[in-house]
Amino acid sequence: MAAVAAGDYHSLGLDETGAVHSWGAAGTVGNCVSGDQLEPQLVSALRGVRAVGISACYYHSLALADGGEVYSWGSGSHGKLGHGDKLPQVEPRRVHALRGVRVRSVAAGVGHSLATADDGAPRAAGATPSRGRSGGRERRGCSIGAGRVCWGDGDRSTHSFLSWSLLD
């Protein structure tokens, strides 16, 4: 594997060809399986997608395709999958809220997902400032779509459970 990412109950692997593999608890691996998947298996819904990045945290996963598209699956709590709802996804689904945005990196947190666009601007879905997570501006405690986050200018780096933004 060229890269690996681990959630609480599942893991992802990205091989040299850009194929995404997963293993772990049912409902988190992206393969509509009813039981746990104990060995790495190709995430079949991403067949034909060349991934260049992966991230996993808690019960959800993100995959970044070489064209800048983002796919998410797993728990949809807090709206963190970016699909406009809080529903779980057992298979990867493209985040259409990011259509037209070329993403260069992704990061999964417990209650949120982050993506950095080519223009340097971060995008977020999931728990918002009232919950201390994604930086969105909604006051309901949850940002359902993948919206732009206003954190200043410069390059950003994010990771995992809590997310940090490095500003130049």
pLDDT digits (tens, 9 = 90+) for 85-118: 999 999 999 999 899 999 999 999 888 898 999 9
2: left (phi > 0), else alpha (psi -120 to 50), else beta?
alpha
Residue 168 has pLDDT above 70, yes or no: no
Least confidently predicted of 14-18, 34-38, 119-123, 138-142: 138-142
3-class SS at 136? coil
Q: Is the pLDDT of residue 146 over 80?
A: no
Model confidence pLDDT, tens digit, residues 50-90:
999 999 998 999 999 999 999 999 999 989 999 999 999 99
**pLDDT at residue 147, as a whole number:** 53
- Rounded Cα distance between 90 and 60, Å, is 10
pLDDT mean across residues, the chain:
81
Domains and CATH numbers, the chain: 3-148 (2.130.10.30)
Q: How far from the centroid of its chain's Cα atoms is residue 87's Cα?
A: 15
pLDDT for 82: 92
Question: pTM, whole model, 2 decimals?
Answer: 0.81
- Residue closest to 77 by CA, chosen among 161, 163, 142: 142
Confidence at 119, pLDDT banded by 50, 70, 90: confident
Which pLDDT score is estimated for 26? 85
